[in-house]
Amino acid sequence: MDHFDYQQGEIYVEGVPVTAIAEQVGTPFYCYSTETLVRHYNVFSDVFRGHDFLLCYALKANSNQAIIKSLANLGSGADVVSEGELRRALKAGIAAEKIVYSGVAKTQEEMAFALEKGILQFNIESEPELHQLSRVADGMGKVAAIAFRINPDVDARTHAKISTGKSENKFGIPWTSARAIYAKAAALPGIRVQGVDLHIGSQLTDLAPFEEAFGRIVTLIEELRADGHEISVLDLGGGLGIPYDQAAEKPPLPLEYGEMVKRIVGHLGCKIIIEPGRLLVGNAGILVSKVIFLKYGEKRKFLIIDAAMNDLIRPSMYEAYHEIVAVKDTGGPLSAYDVVGPVCETGDTFAVRRDLPGLETGDLVAIRSAGAYGAVMSSTYNTRRLIPEILVKGTEYAIVRPRPSYDDIIGLDKMPKWLD
């Protein structure tokens, strides 16, 4: 459920008509609903009420400060994968002791910064990373609390580019090698083993891969405890999918996922960490764009809009489906369009032969389920300006990232003295 509904013949975001925002800020722009964020957070966290549980929002999905702050106010922790994301989480008010640091390539400088701040846990993905963290922590006179990210060799049954839990993926420690590396970690200075971590992929629409992976982790934790390790934290990552295509995708509900988690791992007595990103923000955002031209090809009709692949790259990168709707419901007959942007790439295509009502130059369309991996993956390719982000709460809205000027973008380039 989200809060983007037709009222009086046009889409409202909570209590604000999309057309009113477009008139002020221009197009294209991202628009987020606070009430949707709150609902998604509460639905997920309520499943684990009464358990030792921490929801750590995965900032990589959408790292706008206003989004992070909205979730921080609800009690969320953070899952970060860079020093920049760690700084964003701290600035938005998330306490360091509620932050987990993931990622395959943490530098010494990033490790030192996180140690200085006192984060909850480092999720370690390789033996070289373990030894580097030991050297950094010991040199600072600190102790790093760690979990190893275990690769359980489970097929997540999702897109190949967002599958992370198979043996050929770059992520984590092979689960068959886990006991050996935990033994090494226990003997190192500056290291305190406290947990086990895994994350098998993103946009999963079936519980079976989760169940298989979690079952392997239960066995591993029992073996690690028998080896003398005090495993008190179980980080299950994220990955639960959202319905981009309402007709074709029926991912499990958070309640079903939560009940499965409690059934499989609840008896371990661990603090459970879940790291949803897309699940919280994906359907809390839309991308609003304006029709520039209608172009009639020999066999296709093209709807050319002012948003482009640099604004939302998921369709180009992942062949991802996003529902596209007219902001004003004309109620007219449908026609098949290829919805494309203005960038000079064939891949700048949002949809092929998508049925839409009759649209004309100047009409607005909304690309739904764009709150995750939209703005955060955008670029200035073709010297296109980054687009604004808008946050709505009730009948109010605010620009939470403004559109830069062309001078702002071009001014980032610096001329060498021999060209001045």
Catalytic site residues?
Answer: 344
- The rounded distance, in Å, linking the Cα atoms of 411 and 89 is 28
- The rounded distance, in Å, linking the Cα atoms of 151 and 154 is 8
Which amino acid belongs to residue 262?
K
- The rounded distance, in Å, linking the Cα atoms of 302 and 340 is 7
For residue 357, list its beta bridge partners. Answer: 334
